[in-house]
Chains A and B, each alone.
Chain A
Amino acid sequence: MQKKALPTKVKIVIIGGGVIGTSVAYHLAERGCTDILLLDKGELGHGSSHRAAGTISKLGLTASGVEIMKHAWRTYENFKKEGDIDLHPNPYILPLWQNNPGYYQQYLKEVVNILKSLGSTAKVEALSAEKTKNIVPEIRLNDVEPGLGNVLGAVMDWESVWVDPYLLVMAYAKRARKLGVDIRTRIEVTGIIVKGGKVKGVETTAGQVECDKIVCSAGPWASKIGKMVGLEIPVKPVRRVLIKIQKKEETKDKWGQYQDEPGSHEKRKGLWIRHDVAGFVGSGTHEIEGKDEAVDPDNYNESYTYEEVIDFATKLDQQMPGFGEFDVVDGWAGLYEVTHDSNWIMDKAESPEGFYLICGFSGEGIHASAAAGLFASELILDGKVKCVKDPSLWAYNSQRFPEIL
């Protein structure tokens, strides 16, 4: 299907055909801009998107974050309606363990109120300890070891979902192609041509292509692409593992996804688990600060280790002693592309002109994809972003890395 030679000139080259790149292509095409070439050095989504857990929520960390997710959800609901993806219900509970009950009540109230004040319509609830136990009967409310903290309640996001990331990538790609975007796989970008401080084109394993604009949506390979234009893009590829388990008997649970609070105790933190088809996926190494070394995205351990299984199981047993016995079905490791502050980068580079950074999604790529596509399309076509009312509140600009960019 790819016997044609590459075009000699296009308006925009998108580097990276994962969930972000394909979303950018789709959103640009929806706006009538189809003189686009999207290149991926492998198959679409095979870099890191297809290994993701696929969680999508309505939450955001800032007002613009919340706002943009409203737009994003329109796309997800639309794709679901057309039968391209399923939005599996995944009510997401984050139990809060604190030793200071007073501080805790304040925190809980604030989280929910903050979201409301940011205009979130997400069904987020603050739960008491009893209610938490009601939703997660397996949970241990009072920890035996001193210092590990007791469960004083939880934050519940009732509308969280999970999708099959591969299907989401295909949904964007199919529509982009239909609208006229040229999507090519197994073609690697080997260099970027810059003249007079402006982007002029790309060099690839299948020849040179002239262009005016380049979108770097290469995720774990973003910094590698950045170096081609002399930029130190602060995106680090890190390895994340997921273990698939199956209980002896399937249970009907009220909760979909359970995650331990990132700042919690050493012995506990890192637990993340969600329901999957016929079982669960999870790990014990979710978002542990200071434990993320960069890996070579082309050569890392793509399988799981039994040590990771035991770590997961130990933390699961500690927090949910009622979980029960299970078998290990499978496991795999994939990549996050993380920034210092786990916030996304959606911005135009200062130099060279015409180079756009849509990367650094820090484990939220699937969730952010529709938002990223919309944001990028406005930034590229209009020069400014309209989908969020107050862009100055956005945390996505690359200026927060002045010493790097």
Chain B
Amino acid sequence: MIFIIAEHRTCKLQDITFQMLAKGRALADKTASALVAVVLEDGSQSYEHILSSYADSILKVRDKCLSNFNSEIYQEVLCGLISKYKPLLTLIGHTSYGIEMASSLAVDLGFTFVSDCVDLDVKNHRVYATRQIYGGKVNSLISLVGENCIATIRPNVFKGAEKEGLHGIIIESPFSIEKTTRRKRFIELATTPTGDLDITQADKIVSIGRGIKKEEDVKIIADMAESIGAVLACSRAIVDKGWLPVERQVGSSGRTVNAKLYIAIGISGASQHLAGMSSCETIVAVNEDPYAPILSIAHYAIIDDLYKVVPLLKDKLCSKRR
């Protein structure tokens, strides 16, 4: 059996669930196992009907205390389920919920654990996991010892599963937990505050460097950044000039960022700067120098005068919004 722990929030199943179902299906086929989706919820949504198109069976546990994720409660329920069914492999998303719960769950069960996998395989009854280390510079292939394993899967690595025209069997497992005292309590969801600027928390960053000639230009780029919901950051050169405060500096003597999007405008890429942003997911460089070191780590580049590129980008973004 291969378990996929479905993740949902605010009444919606998260994409990672379908990504795990896709990978899970491949592994289930390879090991001639059943693919089981596990969902813990309060009964207000019928996740099981959606999931039944993707898995051979759905194990659902219902209780109003499962409305919102709570690692203490979820862990106890899953511990019971997994101990009972002993799946070969349990997949959980390497998401905030997964990070909160998966490793302690593994310790609770005494199962082998591996996190943040970018690939998984089973060969000769052994589970092999591929992980990235050193910010993605090196891949490590590891094998797991143990009859049962728990692995967390990195989001957006696997493509989401296609509906299979399946009708997975839906089984409801009774909700029963022993512990009555809750040492951990969900209060509410909230939006991430943007008050105190912290570029390390930004999902999108537009960063400026030496290529910016005048202080007045900073505002133009700041506006463009705002229009795509990005935070403005910079290299040391800009802070040195006093055009932006040191909180905005990206680099080994500033902040390290891991944003989803990093647009480097007029930044050549001194190693100290690269050290602070090289692990961003999508790096775009705008620089007229085709030999700028930043190009060796950027994913996309426009080799052109930023004073031509930025105004055009700004205009196009503006009209997109209209």
Residues of A at the B interface (CB closer than 8 Å) are 1, 43-44, 46, 50, 83, 86, 164, 166-167, 170, 173-174, 177, 183, 244, 277-278, 329-330
Docked CA distance A96–B26 (Å): 78
Partner pick for B240 among A166, A183, A244, A277, CB 8 A cutoff: A277
Query: Nearest-CB distance from A102 to chain B (Å)?
Result: 45
In the complex, the answer to whether A1 meets B246 with C-beta atoms within 8 Å is no
- Having A50-B270, A277-B240, one finds 6 other A-B pairs with CB under 8 Å, namely A164-B237, A164-B240, A166-B270, A167-B237, A174-B289, A277-B236
Chain B window 231-261, contacts with chain A (Cβ cutoff 8 Å), 1 for yes, 0 for no? 0000011011100001000000100000000
Partner pick for B291 among A1, A46, A83, A244, CB 8 A cutoff: A1
Query: Nearest-CB distance from A86 to chain B (Å)?
Result: 7
In the complex, the answer to whether B291 meets A183 with C-beta atoms within 8 Å is yes
Closest 10 CB pairs of A and B: A277-B240, A166-B270, A330-B253, A1-B291, A1-B295, A1-B290, A170-B268, A46-B271, A43-B293, A177-B291
Query: Nearest-CB distance from A285 to chain B (Å)?
Result: 21
Is B167 on the interface with A (CB-CB < 8 A)?
A: no
Chain B window 142-169, contacts with chain A (Cβ cutoff 8 Å), 1 for yes, 0 for no? 0000000000000000000000000000
Write 10 A-B pairs (CB below 8 A) sorted by A numbering: A1-B295, A43-B271, A43-B293, A86-B240, A164-B237, A164-B240, A170-B268, A174-B289, A183-B291, A277-B240
Which residues of chain B from 268 to 299 have a CB within 8 Å of any chain A CB? 268, 270-271, 289-291, 293, 295-296
Query: Nearest-CB distance from A385 to chain B (Å)?
Result: 31
Which residues from chain A contact B253 at a C-beta distance below 8 Å? Answer: 244, 329-330
Chain B window 193-211, contacts with chain A (Cβ cutoff 8 Å), 1 for yes, 0 for no? 0000000000000000010
Is B9 on the interface with A (CB-CB < 8 A)?
A: no
Q: Whose C-beta in chain A lies nearest to the C-beta of B295?
A: A1
Asked whether A50 and B271 contact (CB < 8 A) given A1-B291, A174-B289, A277-B239, the answer is yes
Q: Whose C-beta in chain B lies nearest to the C-beta of A170?
A: B268
Is B213 on the interface with A (CB-CB < 8 A)?
A: yes
Which residues from chain A contact B293 at a C-beta distance below 8 Å? Answer: 43-44
Which residues from chain B contact A44 at a C-beta distance below 8 Å? Answer: 293
Docked CA distance A86–B238 (Å): 12
Query: Nearest-CB distance from B137 to chain A (Å)?
Result: 15
Docked CA distance A128–B138 (Å): 60
